[in-house]
Structure 1
């Protein structure tokens, strides 16, 4: 299979996890290649995500590495063999690779957790609200660029609108609910949309009220995407230079704790819905 000079985050993650299994087995890439009857370069390319790998090859590698976690092995095997291009590939020459990686991550996620303090989660934004957000991007986007970003965001929202939606949990600070992106009319429709979405069985919205005081996370938005097994979870952070994906065990453990503490400080689902109603009524 030819090498891919621009592997997706999903393929890179698969390669990274295979490397972790090899290193835990105390085996060099040369030794791993010898067991497959290949050379060290092939193992290196697989681990870097430059080469695709079949499900059977993943199972063989895991067996050679004496991995006892069959659930993890099957989860890794399921990450191979994608033949159809995801819808996000339509934007390959238009948007950044990080945004495409995020859409692919959401598409394969088994559950989604997000926290926001000064803005609203992208998957819960109305079209008008999102358009106003993109109009404030620095450096300024051209009108066509705004519309490309907007259509991409709306397509991402399919994961919570499809027939078998992904469970979605959001912690939103009360401050974000008072923001008037685009003016009073757009803000009202956005709040009503949050109320409507919060009534869906697969969507849970927790509001972190002002009186909750200090909270973990330093106000930085965080996005926790659950994989088929905990080892394949991913944290996504927005940085000034772009999207950052974290998957080290210590990082995952940290953000599990952050989200647990945020949800403990936030209001319950019913109380949160009532608070959104109150803000909407007073707007």
Structure 2
């Protein structure tokens, strides 16, 4: 039996969007591009929507057609081809929301990660019990087996932090997240100890924005910047009550880079941040 066609992921849609921008920069319609490329207008449109798999050579051929002189961009886009990667996250298809799979795929391919969170410890740095408490309190309520699916998915995402080539991560956490006490003192202490342990890894930087710092940008929601092979191929995820929102427009990327820069500037350095986390942990 043939495998069902997978819907395009955020990463595939991003590849298509970059090819569309390239075509528009060349001042070609999809119809004219198809004629020059030997394809139909619908084929070009499907490629640009991310719903039709395109090979690396076809990306290079389209770039030549569009007279794109940015060789680094072309090769970075060529690396994004090959169809939807059937990574470990595919076992959760039709079990978890699609944005959860997109998040895991983006983390898997990211060159770097920058995370900012005010109320919650970032998911990549959560313990099993802490994650279970957080996920178990969502609205609408989940059945116990649904909670366990989401907990296991969250923990598997943490594979990017381990292994021979872990992804460099910078996480900025507000002091409020340290003092929420989710799950009670025992769970909270274990979570803070785990956060301290993570902060001592060479590829992990954990900085805390202390109370009393005053106002700062990005206080309203969690932000994650997935570093692409080139800055223009970065993606930003915004955490909302209705799920993840992924943005990649040039102006949006510039805005959220600035927000993350300013949040990091408000935070304590890694050593003082560890001291503060330890102080909060001992007070529980």
TM-score range, shorter chain: over 0.9
Aligned to 2:103: 102
Name which of structure 1's ranges 30-39 and 100-109 shifts more when overlaid on structure 2. Answer: 30-39
Q: How does 1:51-200 map to 2 (within 5 A)?
A: 51-82=52-83, 85-200=86-201
Aligned to 1:8: 9
CA RMSD in angstroms comes to 1.4
Q: Distance in 2 between matches of 1:280 and 1:217?
A: 25
Q: Distance in 2 between matches of 1:79 and 1:71?
A: 13
After TM superposition, the runs of 4+ consecutive aligned structure 1 residues lying more than 2 A away are: 2-5
Q: Distance in 1 between matches of 2:58 and 2:5?
A: 18
How far has the Cα of 1:219 moved from its partner?
A: 2.5
Is the 1:3–1:45 contact (alpha carbons within 8 Å) kept by the matching residues of 2?
no
TM-score, length of structure 2 as denominator length = 0.96
Is the 1:118–1:176 contact (alpha carbons within 8 Å) kept by the matching residues of 2?
yes
How far has the Cα of 1:209 moved from its partner?
A: 0.4
Q: Distance in 2 between matches of 1:280 and 1:5?
A: 45
How far has the Cα of 1:3 moved from its partner?
A: 11
Q: Distance in 2 between matches of 1:240 and 1:185?
A: 27
Instruction: List gaps (5 residues or longer) in structure 1.
Output: none
Q: How does 1:191-230 map to 2 (within 5 A)?
A: 191-230=192-231
Is the 1:3–1:50 contact (alpha carbons within 8 Å) kept by the matching residues of 2?
no
Q: Distance in 1 between matches of 2:53 and 2:269?
A: 44
Aligned to 1:38: 39
Is the 2:221–2:240 contact (alpha carbons within 8 Å) kept by the matching residues of 1?
no
How far has the Cα of 1:50 moved from its partner?
A: 1.2
- Secondary structure of 2:221 counterpart: coil
1:83–1:140 CA distance, 2 compared to 1 (3 A): closer
Is the 1:160–1:166 contact (alpha carbons within 8 Å) kept by the matching residues of 2?
yes
Across the two proteins, how many residue pairs are aligned to each other?
282
Instruction: List gaps (5 residues or longer) in structure 2.
Output: none
